[in-house]
Structure 1
Amino acid sequence: MRKFIFALVGFALAAPVAYAAEDFSVGPQYDTTHVYVAPADVDAFVRSFAATFGGQSTKQAIATVTPTASSTSTQLVRTPSGAISVFGFRTPVPYPFGAERTGYLVTNVDEAVAAANASGAATLVAPFDDPIGRDAVVTWPGGVNMQFYSHTTKPDYPTLDHIPENRIYLPSQSADAFIKAFVAFAHGKVESDVKAPGTDVGQKEGDYRRVRISSRFGKATVIVTKGHLNWPYGTELTGYEVSDLVATLQRARDSGAKVVVDAHTEGERKAAMVQFPGGHVVEIHSLAH
């Protein structure tokens, strides 16, 4: 009986994914992590992040980027390892902004939202116009919030040297629902689904489930745990791949960031955790050659 049940589970996992009718992605060089920083920390954060990853920032602007009244500084920091959108709100942040982890450029915001809904997401913020385009926020099973956006003037950015990964911590009860829904919408592929050592996420023993997904939106790693995590694990939104981890960490220190988890081996990676001025935490890794 058990063998029969396991066979059915294996069949379900191996079943073809019912993809959304259209792929709305544009490319990972247009996808950004959304970073909310106190106004007093914005300049120090941007300088440190750009210096660490060898990037540069657009000129800071003050704008309303929500559908209701608000004011924030906004700027884009592009690096060879990925881009971030930095917000320093001068007013209280209107709900539910600040809880979205990423901004994904899509070919059509309204149609992308409809496709996400059909795949299992809910519309958290209905599509609205902003000063340079159109936006919406969706929430996936497990409470994973993502922003979709489009620009009135089409951007043209070079491809990345390294594609960053969206690091998503979920409980076991919602992980499969998120994976199924997001893979269907993103026309993605589950690259691996394994038990990994708990030491990868700061545990002294045990293991956790790690699912790696790829799509034209970039990479995502779903980290399924019991939630018994030591800081800073679970606070990072993004993992950045670099060619030289040692040199990158030194640039981080020199620019005012703190290495809060020292470089260590994680399977095929060397990885560390860094906290930038203003408190934003990232994972940084290089691949073994």
Structure 2
Amino acid sequence: MKSIRIALAALMTTGVLMAAPISFAKTVSQPSATSVAVGPQYDTTHVYVDPDAFDRFTDSFVATFGGTKSQQGVFQVTPTPSQTMSQLVFTPSGTISVFGFKTPIPYPFGDERTGYLVTDMDAAVASARAHGADVVVDTFPDPIGRDAIVSWPGGLHMQLYWHTQAPHYDPLQTVPENRVYVSSQSADKLIRDFVAFSHGKVVSDVTHAPGVEIGRPGDTYRRVRIESGFGKMTVIVSDGHLPYPFGRELTGYEVSNLDATLTRAQAAGVKVLVPSFASDGRNAAIVQFPGGYIAEIHDSLAK
């Protein structure tokens, strides 16, 4: 029975599930006047890796951050035929949904960076549309709920998902940040639209943040931090002249001790692409996990 519950949890939390007919008694067509977010512990970064690297990646992620893995399975997670390995990795610093497709990946899956659990799918999609998002994959049913993919100004793709029986997970120890790189032409619209949709707030807007944070010491750039019921988002506004690997990291993970975390990561086969540097009250580094996933990891200088 426990293994069945774990497998169901894996399906429920990935945000992309097997398409199947399902009926709903309630239909909501108006944007929600309140937040549709459930909580950051239910929101995942979507990580796509080659099936051959799947276990090496998930093992290295747990070795780096701690936590547990759900039962692994092979599912259809798109509204059109496909097959992928799928597994959740739960850590104190954030949850990821891992996919290793055994078939070609149907468009536009793979472009979405996160899956956000919402309280009401119809209201969430209506609200996203009302606040400037393009629904690039219309709502489709799965055995325990529904899903959709939306795109915000600047090309930010995210998945919204909902299911009939809400999962229950403990709060995270630290909330990860969705790291979004956009142009100056798109930044203000993205910020305005996403804050309105999420019922969030801008907690800081620094027009001359230190360029070392994007690999350009001596330069400055604009950095906007947003917080909402979906968690944290850092909007990085640049001209696109970014040295590798900046712009490739999807998520920033907060840990209690960066040096100790990097030591564990390297022992598990993780490469440090950008060594630790200090800025904005944090120590930060960028790493690459087996399978290619790139992430920022940081701690607080005031620890």
Match of 1:93 among 82, 96, 105: 105
More displaced stretch, 152-161 vs 97-106? 152-161
Separation in 1, partners of 2:49, 2:34: 35
Picking from 268, 285, 288, the partner of 2:298 is: 285
Q: Note the alpha carbon deviations across 1:199-229, whole angstroms, 9 max, x for none.
A: 1110132100000000010000000011111
In 1, the alpha carbon distance for the partners of 2:270 and 2:85 equals: 21
Matched, 1:159 2:171: yes
Where 2:127 maps in the other structure, the secondary structure is helix
SS in 2 for 1:212: strand
Contact persistence 1:138–1:145 (CA under 8 A): yes
Correspondence for 2:119: 107
Which of 116, 139, 144 lines up with 2:128 in the alignment?
116
Select the residue among 253, 264, 267 that pairs with 1:251.
264
TM-score, normalising length from structure 2? 0.88
Distance in structure 2 (CA, Å) of the matches to 1:79 and 1:141: 30
Aligned match of 1:211: 224
Partner-residue secondary structure (3-state), 1:62:
strand
The question of whether the paired residues in 2 share the 8 Å contact of 1:20 and 1:184 is answered with no
Is 1:139 aligned to 2:151, yes or no?
A: yes
CA distance in 2, matches of 1:284, 1:109: 32
Aligned match of 2:236 in 219, 223, 232?
A: 223
What is the identity, as a one-letter code, of the residue corresponding to 2:264? R
Compute the displacement of 1:188 (Å): 0.6
1:255/1:131 CA distance change after superposition, 3 Å: farther
Q: Secondary structure at the match of 1:29?
A: helix
Structure 1 gap segments, 5+ residues each: 1-18
Task: Give distance in 1, aligned partners of 2:150 and 2:34.
Answer: 17
1:11 is matched with none
Residue-by-residue CA offset, 1:64-110 (whole Å, 9 max, x unaligned) = 11000000011110100000000000000000000000000001112
Verify the 8 A CA contact 1:66 1:130 in the aligned structure 2: no
Question: TM-score, normalised on structure 1?
Answer: 0.92
For residues 77 and 32 of structure 2, what CA distance do their matches in structure 1 show?
28
Q: Which residue of 1 aligns with 2:255?
A: 242
SS in 2 for 1:213: strand
* AA in 2 matched with 1:250: T
SS at match of 2:154: coil
Residue in 1 aligned with 2:75? 63
- Contact kept in structure 1, 2:32 and 2:124, CA below 8 Å: no
Tell me by how many angstroms 1:50 deviates. 1.0
CA distance in 1 between counterparts of 2:99 and 2:141 reads 18
Q: State the aligned residue count.
A: 271
Give the structure 2 partner of residue 179 of structure 1.
191
Over 3 Å counting, the alpha-carbon distance change for 1:183 and 1:20 in structure 2 is farther
CA deviation string 1:124-181 (max 9, x = no partner): 1011112442110000011100100123332110001000000000000000000000
For the 8 Å contact 1:64–1:131, the answer to whether it is kept is: no
What secondary structure is seen at the aligned counterpart in 1 of 2:126?
Answer: helix
Alignment identity in percent?
A: 60
- C-alpha distance after superposition, 1:221-257 (max 9, x if no partner): 0000111111110001000000011111011001111
Q: Which stretch shows the higher mean deviation, 126-135 or 92-101?
A: 126-135
| 1:50 and 2:62 are equivalent in the alignment | yes
Contact 2:249–2:295 (CA<8 Å) still a contact in 1? yes
Give the SS at the match of 1:78: strand
Q: Give how far 1:20 is off.
A: 5.5
The one-letter code matched in structure 1 to 2:149 is V
Instruction: State yes or no: 1:170 paired with 2:151.
Output: no
Matches within 5 A, 1:255-270: 255-270=268-283
**Structure-1 separation of matches of 2:66 and 2:73:** 22
CA distance in 1, matches of 2:143, 2:243: 40
C-alpha separation in 2, matches of 1:181 and 1:196:
23
Counterpart amino acid of residue 123 in structure 2: E
Secondary structure of 2:111's aligned partner: coil
